Amino acid sequence: MPFRSVNAWVQKHSAALSAWSSALTIVASIIAVIGFTTLLIGGILGFLQLKSSLQKPDVALAVVNSNDPAFVIHNPSPVVARDVVLTMGLWDLDARAEAPAPRYATDPDYDPGNLSAKGMDVSYVLPGAGSGPHNMTNFTRAYYAVPSGHTIFGPAFLRCSECGPKAYWVMIEKNGTAWFVEMSVEEQASVYQNLRKVLNARAGFAGVITEIIPVKRRVRAADPP
């Protein structure tokens, strides 16, 4: 087609060509917006997935209802806590104080007041949710035989498959008061040393407990309204 004819054809169809050009520009803009939006959404989802993978679950223990003590496991994190394990060792300190003089040298199994508490497993605890309350009798049937007013004391240990271990001191006066304290990392390192101090104090256990756990640190068991 001669150049003059082409020029005439372009002039004749200039409006249509302009419309097509505008349409293609709009389509290109839409594609660009969609592509950017898709990229942005993908980036946000990737960030959220990365953030979720970096977050770790957490669990915490609380004692509730001082007259009928129970334990509640709470997950304050935004991630599911799995394979949660709670174990504890509890002693009736008054029964231990009333027992015959210690004979550890001749009888390694001599451990008066030991309530032989067992542990418990919880498959999972949802974010912001809890497990419990779990009554004392779920951990030791010997609790039934503890006289009213006797002091029960010992450590409790809590962990989950991806949680760092936590430890607590627990004290329960049967049919009276109850409190608990979370141990620091440094205190966890000396938990058994401090426990032996309390158990060996016999009738003087109250003073040793106060020395190890000042009153101001103790968290009183929450009672139902």
Q: Is 0.85 topped by the overall pTM?
A: no
Residue 171 confidence (pLDDT): 95
**How many structural domains is the chain composed of?**
2
Q: At what angle do helices 205-212 and 191-200 cross, to 10 degrees?
A: 160
Position 68: which residue type? D
pLDDT at 100: 78
Does residue 86 share a domain with residue 32?
A: no
In this predicted model, what pLDDT tens digit does every residue of 117-163 receive, in sequence order? 998 988 888 999 888 899 998 899 999 999 999 999 999 999 988 88
Inside any domain, residue 166:
yes
Predicted local distance difference test score (pLDDT) of residue 50 = 45
Which has the closest alpha carbon to 209: 171, 182, 168, 172? 171
Q: Which domain-ending residue is among 33, 54, 75? A: 54
Q: Is residue 171 part of a domain?
A: yes
Q: What is the pLDDT of residue 55?
A: 80
User: What's residue 198's pLDDT?
Assistant: 93
The pLDDT of residue 102: 66
Q: Is the same domain home to 23 and 76?
A: no
User: Are 131 and 29 within one domain?
Assistant: no
Closest CA to 203 of 97, 128, 71: 97
* Alpha helices (runs of H) in the chain, residue ranges in sequence order: 3-12, 14-54, 93-98, 185-189, 191-200, 205-212
- Domain around 34: 3-54
Q: Are residues 136 and 216 in the same domain?
A: yes
User: Buried (b) or exposed (e) across 175-202, using 16+ Cβ within 10 A?
Assistant: eebbbbbbbeeebbeebeebbeebbebb
Specify if 225 maps to a domain: no
Q: What integer pLDDT is reported at residue 7 of this predicted model?
A: 52
Q: Are residues 69 and 41 in the same domain?
A: no
Torsion of CA 193, 83, 133, 93, to 10 degrees: -20
Which residue type occupies 148? S
pLDDT for position 132: 82
Flag residues of the chain having pLDDT under 70: 1-54, 102-106, 224-225
Regarding whether 14 and 84 lie in a shared domain, the answer is no
